[in-house]
Amino acid sequence: MFRSRLDTPYQTNHRHFQGINFQHDDVQIIQGELTIAAGYEWGSVLQQLHRPMVFLGVWPTGIYDPNYTYGRPWIWDACLVSSVLLRHHHEIPMTRSQIVDIFRDLLEVRKVPLRRLLVLIKKVHLRAI
């Protein structure tokens, strides 16, 4: 599986981060904002769907990025944040349904095609862990 790596820090806000104060080597949540340090690496099966979907014409080419053949995947942000939250799920006081809400909202921001299907896959994945 192709692994992604952050070149620069990533930050995002969400209502579910409010009231959470968490710090770890590569991630922190303070005042409703999630910050992920540069160098963070993750892999995502959902993110791997990008190439065939673009090739088949289901999704448009992603955001230009020299690390990706068809551009950075549309679901890149959602997979990144989901990865961080799942990696630290024992330490961050957040439910699985909140993680799904965040994933869904990040897909909505990008207007990712097949969002409902991707959210359903994420729900099934979270039930399995």
**What global pTM score does this model have?**
0.83
pLDDT confidence of residue 17? 97
Q: What is the 3-state secondary structure (H, E, C) of 78-128?
A: HHHHHHHHHHCCCCCCCCHHHHHHHHHHHHHHHCCCCHHHHHHHHHHHHHH
Is the pLDDT at 1 greater than 60? The verdict is no
Residues spanned by the domain of 121:
3-128
93 pLDDT tier (thresholds 50, 70, 90): very high
Between CA 98 and CA 70 the distance in angstroms is 30
Least Cα distance to 99 among 116, 113, 114, 119 occurs for: 119
Q: How many domains does the chain have?
A: 1
Average pLDDT over residues 96-108: 96
| Model pLDDT, residue 76 | 85
